[in-house]
Amino acid sequence: MNSPDEIYMFVATEVIDNGDHIAIKTSSGRYFQLPKDIFSTIKKYVSSDGVVSKEIPEKYLAKLIDLGVFYKQGVQQGSADEFNHTSSLIPVVKGRPLEFLVNVFSNLLKFKIATLYVIFVTVLFIATVDFQKLMATHSATLHMGYDVLLMIIVYIFFSGVTHELGHSSAFYKYTGKKAEIGVCFNYCFPSFYSDVRDAALLSRKSERVSILIAGVYFQILLFPVLAIPFYLLGGDRNLLLLSYMLLIQAFFNLIPFLRSDGYWLCKELFFTKGSKNTFYLVVIKVFFFFGLSYLLFVCYLAVRDFYNNIYLQGMLPWEQPAFDFFRQFLVSIYLLVGFNKLISWAKS
């Protein structure tokens, strides 16, 4: 493998000793957790300019090339796969505004402050919202005009920023680094991002997991703050619609076969080093089974409603309450994308 014509490279921009292993960030933005003896071997056979010596034992060279730690000179190494499926990264919150926000909102990761906040919001909602009336209202009775669509778009934007603020705040708490928040295209859909990839260098799994779940945690925790203006404008209808949107957002983020929080969370919890954990495979297959079942159910509803509305009643579908169709459309699109990614993952 190590022929005279092949030169392999290893360039690390950050190296952290985490006790039983060494965490490495390479120049291309890839992350590795290496046993200390392997890292000692790398240091022994890699020059100061990153060239791997041809004297390195073949067994080490083959393994490190296979893992992607070493790469062939002149061949561009792939970047960290968190952003492989994204494009057009546009920063929205950075610099001093970001520093102020993460300093303030990282306090919500403290148990006492979060508890006091939840108690206050709960008391406020009990005093102002008629929950019995709210729960008795079904989404199928809700009409969705352009005003509601605009409300949902505005909510999704601020909720998306809040989600990424959660990741960024937790990242700041555990690393002291500030991760900018921005907008990108994720699987061709407008999405949000916060660059917390350096969390892979943390030694404690609990801290890495906390950063991953902080996004959904912040969305749920700060939902009342985001929903209050819309509730004051439109009452129970708006609150119910946004509650559904919150559930949809949480669902999308926790899908394990998309490169979203759910994927990285399952990978962090269930992967063993160098192999895919059996429990992870069970989780992804069960999730996919229910997802595909739901997609078939949506197709059945579409055919049934088309037959009832067009053939029997002569009524166009868009004259009916639209929110359920909107919700099912969003879920179905993501499931189709997830199906495609699962096929690609299985082939690889």
pLDDT at position 80 is 47
Sign of CA dihedral 296, 297, 300, 301: negative
Q: Which residues of 138-164 are buried (b: 16+ CB within 10 A; e: fewer)?
A: ebeebebeeebeebbeebbeebbbbbb
pLDDT at position 320 is 47
Look up residue 165 and give its amino acid. L
Q: Please check whether residue 189 is in contact with residue 161, taking contact to mean a CB–CB distance below 8 angstroms.
A: no
Cβ atoms within 10 Å of 333's Cβ, excluding its own: 14
> Which tops the pLDDT comparison, 61 or 80?
61
What percentage of the chain reaches a pLDDT higher than 90? Answer: 17
> Which tops the pLDDT comparison, 59 or 301?
59
- Domain residue limits, the chain: 8-79, 86-347
Q: Please check whether residue 212 is in contact with residue 125, taking contact to mean a CB–CB distance below 8 angstroms.
A: no
d(CA 268, CA 325): 35
Residue 284, pLDDT > 70, answer no
Give the model's confidence band at 188: pLDDT under 50 very low, under 70 low, under 90 confident, else very high: low
pLDDT at position 274 is 47
The residues, any chain, with a CB within 8 Å of residue 247's CB and separated by 6 or more, are: none
Give the model's confidence band at 77: pLDDT under 50 very low, under 70 low, under 90 confident, else very high: low
Give the residue from 58, 88, 81, 86 showing the smallest Cα distance to 70. 58
Give the model's confidence band at 105: pLDDT under 50 very low, under 70 low, under 90 confident, else very high: very high
Q: How confident is the model over 270-291, as a mean pLDDT?
A: 63
d(CA 260, CA 167): 12
Residue 304, pLDDT > 80, answer no
pLDDT at position 88 is 64
Give, as one character, the DSSP assignment of residue 106.
G
Strand, coil or helix: what is 190?
strand
d(CA 169, CA 23): 22
Which range among 207-221, 238-252, 320-334 shows the weakest confidence by mean pLDDT? 320-334
Strand, coil or helix: what is 34?
strand
pLDDT at position 216 is 94
The residues, any chain, with a CB within 8 Å of residue 129's CB and separated by 6 or more, are: 231, 236, 239
Q: What is the DSSP string of 125-175?
A: HHHH--HHHHHH--GGG----HHHHHHHHHHHHHHHHHHHHHHHHHHHHHH
pLDDT at position 12 is 80
pLDDT at position 346 is 55
